[in-house]
Structure formats: structure tokens, C-alpha cells
Structure 1
């Protein structure tokens, strides 16, 4: 029987030595390899294998499945395609899958050994795009077989840089005001709009060969930042006028981040000066609770503004009274009217009646109207001592205080 040297088997020496001494007897004890050396070799081989798998864009680890969380919120259309596409691309690049989407890793032939791995990876990327798109959008791309086709279809559909979108975005930028927002929230909104505009109108790239040295791109970038600083300052409330004038006279202007920090410091200074009161103040009427931009008496009431009950947080009291009878009745036969006056806003409701017996029905209907439309209960009703307002049981059931005065008195 052929006996091989144990040391040859362990050390992995060449086959020539085995063939030279096929029947050489073993006259010495076997060479023992340290377990620590074997463990280090196995770890080294394992790390090398894992490194190769991670660098392979077609490799899918156990944590990558269709339910993997990548981006939020999902794609809904033109409104958020810009931010969604950036977030999705960053996630795919982190997972080393973007090369499948941009076409760097092409689809192999069905006969090649890598086709199965490419197909699994391609379907996994498609499932991620479907999951993080609105259901109606996902239905429109569900039948595409390649992730590259899906991505290009969404890009052509929602990444349209047309003059109408640019015009709309410019109008939104110039119309943005701070209002009741803090400086931080206002700056965040401005920054979002500016980045969206930079996406629609990216910075130009010099194509001169050889590259010119005029630094024109730096000047364009600087002027764009100056425009952003001016728009940011102009949108601040009037209480920041001293800050606006102080910054705009500087030459050169500080960068955008320094202006933002200056505005935040100014905000904190005013906050401390007002004793920690964050209530906004109108510079037109001097009252708190609104700004001059939303002062309806100056700019006019909005088309959908509906006057109504304004006693929220107050006493929520109303005054009721009856007038009549008229000498001449109306076309509907009414000869009386019930007046209801809000104690806080002095707003008046008027209800025509054919007789005074309709009073209690109208009061019940009015209480339901106020509760439904304004979410407020009436706590106090003031009237004279007329029998038409004798609703003791109803007022007690609803917890309403009935204040009465003498008949025929205000």
C-alpha cells in the first residue's frame, strides 16, 4: 500500500515530491499545524470572499429584500420627483446597484452563467422602485422588464424642464414670505426652492479645450448666491428691517449661511426682549396674532373667507332679542325677526319669523349651527324676560347659563 508523507499533505507541496518517493516509509512523527494558523487562514479567505461579493453589483445579501426601506416619502409625481430621484439614487449607490440602473452593467445573454444573478438583481431593483412609487405610477411601469427602462421612463415623464415649471417656481420663490414662520423654517423653505431651481437650471460647465482660466463659473456661482441672499432678506418680516439694511450695505456681502446665522441671532434677541413671547405683531395696526401680510383690512378679504363666530377662548356668549310686529309683512308672511349678537365680535345673525312661537326652534338650530361650523358650545345666552325665551329645561340639559333682564329693556 502506498503511504504518503503527512507533512506533504498538510503543507501542500508539489506532486513531484510525492511521485519521487511513492513508497518511502514514514520514520518520523507527523508535522502538526497550529490551530491558530488554520483559523487565521480561514478568516483571511473568508474576508477576501466577502470583499469580492460586496464589490460585485449583482451580489444580494440576506438583508436585501423587496421590503427593504430605502426612501421616504414615495414618488407621487412632478412635485417630488427631484428629491425622490436623488434619494433613490443615493440608496442604490450605497448598495452598489446603481450600475445596473444606469447601464454600466449590461444584461448578459441567457446562455451565460451570470444571467441568473443579473436577473435576480434587476428584479430586486424593480421591486424597490415599485414599492416606493404611488400605486397609480407603479401600475404604469409594472410590465417593464429592466430597471434601466423603468428609471428612464420615470425620468422622461416627471423630469421635464419646461419654461412653465421654471416660471411657476420663480413666482413661488419671489412670493415666499416669512409670515408666522421662524427664521429656521423660513430658511428651510427658501433652501428647498433654491435647490429645486438649481436642478432645473444647473450650473454651466466650461467645455473649452484646453480649460480656460477666466473663473467665469465662480463669478456666476457668486452672483447666484447673492440673489439668494437678497431674496431671503426681502422675505423677512418688517421687524428685521434693521438687519436687512445692515447686511445689504456690506461689501462684499457675507455668504448665505452667515446671513442665516445673523437672522437667527436677531430673532433670539427680539424673543428675549419681549420676555419670551413668540406672538407675532402686525406693523400696520400694532396688534398681535397676525402680520401685516395677512391683515385683511389692508389687503382685502380672501375669496373663501366666511365671517362667523369669533368668541373662541372667550366667554362664548350671545345676546338675543325679538323685534316686531311689522306693520307690513314680508313676501313670506314674516312680521317678526330674531336677532342674535356675538358678545365678542359683535357679529349679528338675523332670522325672520311669522310669529314669536318660532323663537325656541331657531335658538336650538342656532346652537347646533355654531357647534357644527365652529366647534364651540354656547355657554351664556342673554335675553329679556320674555316668555319666548323660557327654555329652562333645555338650558339646564346643555349647561347653558341664561341671563335675563326686564322686558322691553336692552
Structure 2
């Protein structure tokens, strides 16, 4: 008996000591844990590391695996008893990380053996504070408006930006040896909370003015959560009142009776029951145990509409005198009809169409009227045009035609937009008028992650500048850069800028400081900014031709666009009296000898510092365009897929070497940083 107990005591500890079988151990792997699982969504990209890292940490902590990537569990030796369990967990965590990042990032960490090394690599690569991103966040927060969003949706958008800014610029904590007793940190937190509340209030629509004013004048200012709660309550109240008002007006205008049977509120007695009392109204519904159909505000509207009925209508009367509500001037006699409304009786000789200005009728149906005799044939022939009626009148004199009648139905049913006249106006000097517009986003980002491009067109010379953009938030800075370029390079001042109503072009303070007139097109009227819109069409047409000619991938569209603009500025135009925009702007002839076939085969000299004695002396490449400010060509190496610039190039323009989908995978270097040691950016157009 004693021996059996000793055996049991020896067996149980071995089972407990095996970490892979202990659910409380980090080495334990549950049956639901698999290599193909995606731990967080969306996956990691180059912009969302902070949110991704937090979500990934929560997932790993829930799986009891975070200590593997936080260096709390070190790598055991191959002879260690826990090595196999550690190796299984390491492979599992590494697979989770690979499944939770984009393909391009996964390819960069797939060859790392340990999950902790992959985690550390991602942290070192993406977690560094970005001053440019902080500046962008400040701009996005200040420009964020509610517009068509609900209060909840607007607050969510603002909260995301504030949380990201808080991560980059957290409130500092006291690190003194002796902790401070002052409340400076708490004051800083309070100030930031008040700033966020004010940002939220200023972004609300004008309809929330009744909420914003009392809050901004209150002292102390409520918290952001309280401000959001007040705005949400106001939004719900407004929606309820608007919905209730529309329902109340429809019921009263159509003469509907409450669906509660006959009696004081039903049957024939309803027509004669004109006296209402608030207390009686409340008592009836409370006694019947029925929920009140109207709010107090809706009930007041009903009473107001009843009091504004025709002034001569009396209890139980069959006829009455109709008067205007405002002037009390008599306009005719009214007759009570079965639909319980007074219909105004108008003599047949009258050509004017009168109607009782009842508030409920006018709100529900603006077309409630009597057809004048002169418009009878117009209505009979289903609102035939005036010209066709005149043609019929020449055939049949009995058809009356009147020019003085204005038919609302025709306007509402058939009115079209006015025709746009061809504009022949042109600025007399360069930069007196500049057109601007944005094109994008494209479904396929460029090889350098561009999604948009800004087009700038001089009205006088028709010279075009193009600036490649990652997002619309860069437009304001690029407009400022262009104004500075014009002053520095041409000694001119931009007089006027014409654009659409995009918020990225709304810079009233900047325009006022520079003395620039900002001309905007009407809403949904791109024709008023047609010159730059047509220029977009021209650019894209030729860019597609270069795409089909060179057979390069669509992600190279940024080079298509830049090369197209380079050529357009150097081609003569009939509009410019057979001169090119380049000649008018720079007052010098164009050198056409430098023109090469886009996408053609070329060989660039391999620099001596990049080769040994037996290495090739040239690089087989493709021509992609020109580089502003450098006497060289932009090329792409066909072997390494590297994009570089060289002046020592020999062209074979009759050969287009790229083979399309059969070419190897792309691994292009970023042209924005590839260049001289100063890291000069190449994302600006060729002419800037």
C-alpha cells in the first residue's frame, strides 16, 4: 500500500513538470491554435504600426505567448528539455506575425528565425516618432468637419486622430527622485481635454449652434465625453421633432382622424369639435391607456394650424368668407366640401389662380390650385410647350394660349441645365490666372505609393506642372511651394487661382496674405474649370498610349504622366500660334534632339566604383524619362529592377524590351530618395 502511494507521488509530478501539457504554461499550445490564423485585422502596413502593435499584443497576451516576443523567455539551448516546446511556440508565433502583416513586409521578415527578432525588427522600423506625421495629424484634426456624418461618426473619426496624436506626443510624466507635489501634469491633461472638446465643437455643423454657444461660454468647460453626449441628445431631439412635424402636418392636411373609434374624436362629431384643451387632451389618452400620438411641440403646431384656418369658417357652417391670413383682405367665398376642407369659389372670368393660404396645405402640396382658363389646354395636352401650343393655335383658334402663366409643374418636371458657352477669354500675361485641379485616387498606387497628382495650368502660356501626391493633405503645401517658385524663378506674382470647391484648395488666409483672388466653380459644375479638366483628359489619353506601347506595369503610371507633361509643354499648338508652352514661358527654343522613345532599350555605363575588373561595363535598361535639374535620364535596370539616373547612356530606340507579365517580380527603389547624397526628392513634376 505504501509502495503504490509512492509510485503515484512519482508519476504525477512528471506530468506537471511537462510545460507543453500544462495549460498555465506559455509553452502550452491549444488545439485551436493553428499556423494559418490571422491575429489582427487590418494587417500591418507602413502607417498603422501603433494600432497594430497594441492589437497584436492583446492577442498574444490572451494566448499567453507575449513573453516570447518581449524577451522574457530567452532562447534555450538545444540540449534544454524545453527546447522542443519553445521551438514549436516560436514557429507558431512567427506564423501569426507573418499572417498579420502585408505581403511586402512579410517578405522582409520571413527569413528571421526567431519571432522575437521579427517583433523587434518591426518595432525598430515603424515605431519611431515621425514629425511629418505629427504635422499631418494636426492638419487633419483642424480640417475635420462633421458635414454629412452623424455626431457618433464624426466623434469616432476625431477620436482616432486624437489617439494617434497622443501616441506620438504623450503627456510627460514626472521622473524626479522625489515625486513632485504640484499639479502641473493634471493641469496639462485638463488643458488637452479642453482643447479636444473645443476642436469637437468647432467641427460640428451650424445646426448645433444652440448647443455650442452655451458650452463655449460655460466655466469650467465640460469634458469631451459630456460635450459629445449633449451634441448627441440635440441630434436625436432634432430628428424626432422633424419626423414628428412631417407626420403631424400630413395628418392634419389630409383630414385624417385618430384611429381610436367614434365619440368626441371620431365620427361626425369630430368635424364640429373645434375646441381643444391641453388638460382634456392629456386626460383622454391617460384614461384610455393609450400612448400619446403627439409630443407637446407637435400638439402646439396642430393648434397653431387650426387657429390659422380661414377666418370666416364657423362651427357647423356650410359656407364662409375666405380672407388672407396676413392682411385680412377678403378674397372670395368658401364652400365646405365632404373632405372637410373649405374650397374657394372663383368666378370663371378670373384669370388669376387663387388658393387658401392654409399652412398645412402649403407645406404638403405647393401645387394645390385652380387651373386658370388660359392654361387649360396646357394641362389638357400634358404640359405641352408654349411653341407647340402656338402652332396648334394657328390650326384651331379655340385653343387658348397665354404667355403670362408660369407653370411650376413644367419647371419641376422638365427644367434642364443651361448650355455652357464656349469661352475664348485668355489671360494676357503669364501667371495672371492659374488653373488647378486634382486627379485621383487611382485603384493602383504607383511604384512610389502615389495615389493622386496635382495639375497646375497657366492660362496664358498653357504650360502645365504636375505634382505627384500620396494624399490630398499635401495639396496646401504644394500650392504654397508653387507660389514661391513663380516669385523666385520668374519674378512674377500669381494674380488669381481657379479651382473647384475641394476643401484642399480652400486657403482664405493664405490667399489674402498673398493678395491672390481665388475663383471657384459652382457646385457640381466642372465645366467652369474646364481647361484643367480637359488637360487631365489629354494627359491620361497619352499616358494610356505609353502604357500600351511600353507594356510596363500599371504601377509605373507616375512615369507615364511625368513624361507626357514633359512632351506636352514642348509641342507647338494652334491655340498658341504654332508655338509651344515652353517657348512662351521661357522665351527660348525647344531642343528636340533630346527626345527619346519611352520604354526603349538603352545601356547605361556601369560606374567604376560599382564594378570590379571582370564585371560588365554597362547595365541593360529601359528609358523612363527625364529628371528636372539634372542632365541625365531616368532608367530602370532590366536585371535588378532598380530605378536610377545616368548621363552615360546609349539608346536603341527601335527596341522595346519589356515583356510584360513574363518579367520578374518588381523590387524598385524609391525614386524619391534615390539620387545624390542630399536625398533630393523626385516626386515634383519635371517643370517645377
TM norm. shorter chain > 0.5: yes
Report what 1:133 is aligned to: 101
1:159 CA displacement? 2.1
Q: In structure 1, how many angstroms separate the alpha carbons of the residues matched to 2:95 and 2:168? A: 28
For normalisation by structure 1, the TM-score amounts to: 0.57
1:117/1:10 Cα in 2 relative to 1: closer, same or farther (>3 Å)? closer
Asked if structure 2 preserves the Cα contact closer than 8 Å seen for 1:89 and 1:98, the reply is yes
Q: How does 1:222-233 map to 2 (within 5 A)?
A: 222-233=190-201
1:84/1:240 Cα in 2 relative to 1: closer, same or farther (>3 Å)? same
1:51/1:164 Cα in 2 relative to 1: closer, same or farther (>3 Å)? same
Asked if structure 2 preserves the Cα contact closer than 8 Å seen for 1:271 and 1:277, the reply is no
Report what 1:182 is aligned to: 150
Match for residue 61 of structure 1 among 12, 21, 30: 30
Match for residue 209 of structure 1 among 177, 185, 201: 177
Asked if structure 1 preserves the Cα contact closer than 8 Å seen for 2:37 and 2:99, the reply is no
Q: In structure 2, how many angstroms separate the alpha carbons of the residues matched to 1:49 and 1:193? A: 47
Q: In structure 1, how many angstroms separate the alpha carbons of the residues matched to 2:190 and 2:20? A: 43
SS at match of 2:22: helix
1:45/1:244 Cα in 2 relative to 1: closer, same or farther (>3 Å)? farther
Which 5+ residue runs of structure 2 have no aligned equivalent? 247-412, 423-688
For normalisation by structure 2, the TM-score amounts to: 0.35
1:97 lines up with 2:65 in the alignment: yes
Q: In structure 2, how many angstroms separate the alpha carbons of the residues matched to 1:129 and 1:175? A: 35
Q: In structure 1, how many angstroms separate the alpha carbons of the residues matched to 2:233 and 2:171? A: 32
Report what 1:270 is aligned to: 238
Q: In structure 1, how many angstroms separate the alpha carbons of the residues matched to 2:65 and 2:187? A: 37
Report what 2:351 is aligned to: none
Report what 1:196 is aligned to: 164
Q: In structure 2, how many angstroms separate the alpha carbons of the residues matched to 1:344 and 1:265? A: 40
Match for residue 348 of structure 1 among 419, 432, 454: 419
Report what 1:71 is aligned to: 40
Q: How does 1:77-116 map to 2 (within 5 A)?
A: 77-78=46-47, 80-116=48-84
Q: In structure 2, how many angstroms separate the alpha carbons of the residues matched to 1:349 and 1:343? A: 18
| TM superposition outliers: structure 1 runs of 4+ over 3 Å | 7-13, 42-52, 342-345, 347-351
SS at match of 2:46: coil
1:183/1:46 Cα in 2 relative to 1: closer, same or farther (>3 Å)? farther
1:104/1:46 Cα in 2 relative to 1: closer, same or farther (>3 Å)? closer
Q: In structure 1, how many angstroms separate the alpha carbons of the residues matched to 2:194 and 2:41? A: 32
1:58 CA displacement? 2.1
Q: In structure 2, how many angstroms separate the alpha carbons of the residues matched to 1:68 and 1:217? A: 42
Report what 1:165 is aligned to: 133
Which 5+ residue runs of structure 1 have no aligned equivalent? 1-6, 14-37, 279-341, 352-410
Q: In structure 1, how many angstroms separate the alpha carbons of the residues matched to 2:157 and 2:41? A: 18
Match for residue 222 of structure 2 among 254, 260, 265: 254
1:248/1:56 Cα in 2 relative to 1: closer, same or farther (>3 Å)? same
1:344 CA displacement? 3.9
Report what 1:29 is aligned to: none
Q: In structure 1, how many angstroms separate the alpha carbons of the residues matched to 2:2 and 2:26? A: 40
Asked if structure 1 preserves the Cα contact closer than 8 Å seen for 2:76 and 2:82, the reply is yes
1:243 CA displacement? 0.8
> Could you say what the CA RMSD is over the residues aligned between the two structures, in angstroms?
3.1
Q: In structure 2, how many angstroms separate the alpha carbons of the residues matched to 1:350 and 1:218? A: 64
1:59 CA displacement? 2.0
1:9/1:187 Cα in 2 relative to 1: closer, same or farther (>3 Å)? same
Q: In structure 2, how many angstroms separate the alpha carbons of the residues matched to 1:43 and 1:11? A: 11
Asked if structure 1 preserves the Cα contact closer than 8 Å seen for 2:20 and 2:85, the reply is no
1:12/1:66 Cα in 2 relative to 1: closer, same or farther (>3 Å)? closer
1:49 CA displacement? 8.2
1:214/1:345 Cα in 2 relative to 1: closer, same or farther (>3 Å)? farther
Q: In structure 1, how many angstroms separate the alpha carbons of the residues matched to 2:230 and 2:24? A: 46
Asked if structure 1 preserves the Cα contact closer than 8 Å seen for 2:141 and 2:158, the reply is yes
Deviation per CA, 1:239-283, whole angstroms, max 9, x where unpaired? 1112111111111111111111100001011112222699xxxxx
1:66 CA displacement? 1.0
Higher relative contact order (CA 8 A, sep 6+): 1
Asked if structure 1 preserves the Cα contact closer than 8 Å seen for 2:20 and 2:29, the reply is no
Asked if structure 1 preserves the Cα contact closer than 8 Å seen for 2:38 and 2:99, the reply is no
Q: How does 1:256-405 map to 2 (within 5 A)?
A: 256-275=224-243, 343-348=414-419
Q: In structure 1, how many angstroms separate the alpha carbons of the residues matched to 2:193 and 2:208? A: 20
1:96/1:264 Cα in 2 relative to 1: closer, same or farther (>3 Å)? same
1:152/1:46 Cα in 2 relative to 1: closer, same or farther (>3 Å)? closer
Asked if structure 1 preserves the Cα contact closer than 8 Å seen for 2:19 and 2:27, the reply is no
1:85 CA displacement? 1.1
Q: Aligned residue pairs: how many?
A: 255
Deviation per CA, 1:276-318, whole angstroms, max 9, x where unpaired? 699xxxxxxxxxxxxxxxxxxxxxxxxxxxxxxxxxxxxxxxx
Q: In structure 2, how many angstroms separate the alpha carbons of the residues matched to 1:12 and 1:349? A: 101
SS at match of 2:140: helix
1:44 CA displacement? 12
